[in-house]
Amino acid sequence: MSILPQLAFLLVFAAAGFIIYKRVSFLKRNIFLGKAETRNDQPDKRWETMLLVALGQQKMFKRVIPALLHLMIYVAFVIINLEVLEFIIDGIAGTHRIFAPALGTAYSVAMNIFEFLAIAVLVSCIAFLIRRNVMKVERFAKPEMKGWPAMDANLILVIEIILMMAILTMNATDQILASRGAEHYILLDGLFFSSMLQPLFSGMSDDALVFIERFAWWFHIVGILGFAIYVTYSKHLHIFLAFPNTWYSNLKPKGEIKNMPEVTNEVNMMLGIASEGGSEPPAEIGRFGAKDINDLTWVNVMNAYSCTECGRCTSECPANLTGKKLSPRKIMMDVRDRAEEVGKSIDAGGPGLEDGKSLLGDYITKEEINACTSCNACVEACPVNIDPLSIILQMRRYVAMEESGTPAQWNAMFQNMETSFSPWKFSPSDRFNWADQVKSEEMK
């Protein structure tokens, strides 16, 4: 028996593995262009968050219909990969359905489950295509979704449909050959869904059926490997990054805004309070806030690569709903695009971060970040715990502390808070008088 098919399989598998390795290395380097941040506290809570949000898709079910459709694809993705394991073993060993003889009837049951899941994926993908292109759900029609983002979403749905059809075609032709007693083909107890396709192929010769069955087999395994490569360039990278992203998510209360350690240390030194880190002098401060991706934390950049582009954040954003330019989804997409640009420049021997561009200004405008109300609606809405607000606040801090570029009304408010301990310009002793007055009015 020729070993050429096995050699071809190993070559394809090794090539795909090498490409994925290179891409993963690129992504890892890009993510760690961000500043260091440690988030290993409360490990029990982090495990719980990851299991509920990433694995259990807890936050998806705030919108039931898309959640159920997504769940069917997600379950199919996990379980059908068990069949891909058999594909890999068959490809390396030159066997055909290597698990079938050992499992007997259980194998037929498993294959029927796989086919049911394939049909579920077909139905879900068609429904998602209709939602995006026929019903035109509003959150998929925002300006940032024009061009490649829309094409990427449609392309991945079409690819999934084709891959599922390849499985059903392979099983249908495989069972016709098995019923004719063809060598190496194993007759199973009955495959319900693929049997519906058998009349399409029943009039073909054995040679034609073998060609179609082998083509479908190769198409599926090459398609799976191609899909794995494509995912690393697509918004569907969240399939894998959702797990570390939820693990490292911010566990503090949503309303708690993180202080800048540099400013805290300076204030402590002025007040004679020992800062964390003992008597060591603080490192020189390169920049207050964030202007480019290297000013953000690596968690912020990982958030960007984890973005599903579902638009739930933008659809819940009060600023966006009132017509402001701010879109939290665009913020995350911009961070990811900037990281990609810098990473490609570094790999090409270019200037990298010193290319004369920056995240703030060339990608994200002051108008966008100034529109944010800091309400955390985007953070609450995200199905994988992405935190756009953290990025927005860091950029606003840069504008305020490095450029003194905040709106005039804000500067007046900042001055009042510094001198009068409130946004309004009245004596600190009168700070709570307005609250007492409101309370008195309510009691009348």
Reported as a single tens digit per residue, the pLDDT across 389-437 is 999 999 999 999 898 888 888 888 888 888 887 787 777 777 677 677 7
Return the pLDDT at 87: 87
Structure tokens at 316: 């819940």
pLDDT in tens, 23-45: 999 999 999 999 999 999 999 99
**Could you tell me if 376 and 425 lie in one domain?**
no
Return the pLDDT at 441: 72
Residue 44, in any domain of the structure:
no
Residue 249, in any domain of the structure:
no
Whether the predicted pLDDT of 278 surpasses 70: no
**Could you tell me if 141 and 228 lie in one domain?**
yes
Rg, C-alpha atoms of the chain: 28
Residue 193, in any domain of the structure:
yes
**Could you tell me if 420 and 286 lie in one domain?**
no
Whether the predicted pLDDT of 281 surpasses 80: no
Whether the predicted pLDDT of 9 surpasses 60: yes
Residue 191, in any domain of the structure:
yes
Q: Are 329 and 368 in contact (CB under 8 A)?
A: no
Distance CA 273, CA 280 (A): 13
pLDDT in tens, 289-328: 999 999 999 999 999 999 999 999 999 999 999 999 999 9
Intra-chain end-to-end CA distance of the chain, in Å = 95
Q: Residues 319-346: what's their mean pLDDT?
A: 96
**Could you tell me if 189 and 302 lie in one domain?**
no
**Could you tell me if 149 and 278 lie in one domain?**
no
> Average per-residue pLDDT in the chain?
90
Count of domains in the chain? 3
**Could you tell me if 385 and 416 lie in one domain?**
no
Residue 180, in any domain of the structure:
yes
DSSP designation for 297: B
**Could you tell me if 317 and 221 lie in one domain?**
no
**Could you tell me if 155 and 145 lie in one domain?**
yes
Whether the predicted pLDDT of 179 surpasses 90: yes
Specify the CATH number for the domain of residue 349.
1.10.1060
Whether the predicted pLDDT of 167 surpasses 70: yes
Looking up tokens 């968690």 gives: 299
**Could you tell me if 413 and 391 lie in one domain?**
no
**Could you tell me if 397 and 421 lie in one domain?**
no
pTM (two decimals)? 0.88
Q: Confidence band (pLDDT; 50, 70, 90) for 257?
A: confident
Residue 56, in any domain of the structure:
no
- Domain-terminating residue out of 239, 273, 303: 239
Percent of the chain with pLDDT strictly greater than 90: 70
Return the pLDDT at 412: 85
**Could you tell me if 223 and 122 lie in one domain?**
yes
Sign of CA dihedral 195, 197, 201, 206: negative
Using CB atoms within 10 Å of the CB of residue 98, give its burial: 0 to 12 exposed, 13 to 18 middle, 19+ buried.
Answer: middle
pLDDT in tens, 180-231: 999 889 999 889 999 999 999 999 999 999 999 999 999 988 988 998 999 9
Using CB atoms within 10 Å of the CB of residue 424, give its burial: 0 to 12 exposed, 13 to 18 middle, 19+ buried.
Answer: exposed
Residue 42, in any domain of the structure:
no
**Could you tell me if 17 and 80 lie in one domain?**
yes
Return the pLDDT at 48: 96
Q: Confidence band (pLDDT; 50, 70, 90) for 370?
A: very high
Return the pLDDT at 283: 57
Return the pLDDT at 277: 56
Residue 251, in any domain of the structure:
no
Whether the predicted pLDDT of 135 surpasses 80: yes
Full residue range of the structural domain in which residue 327 is found: 261-406
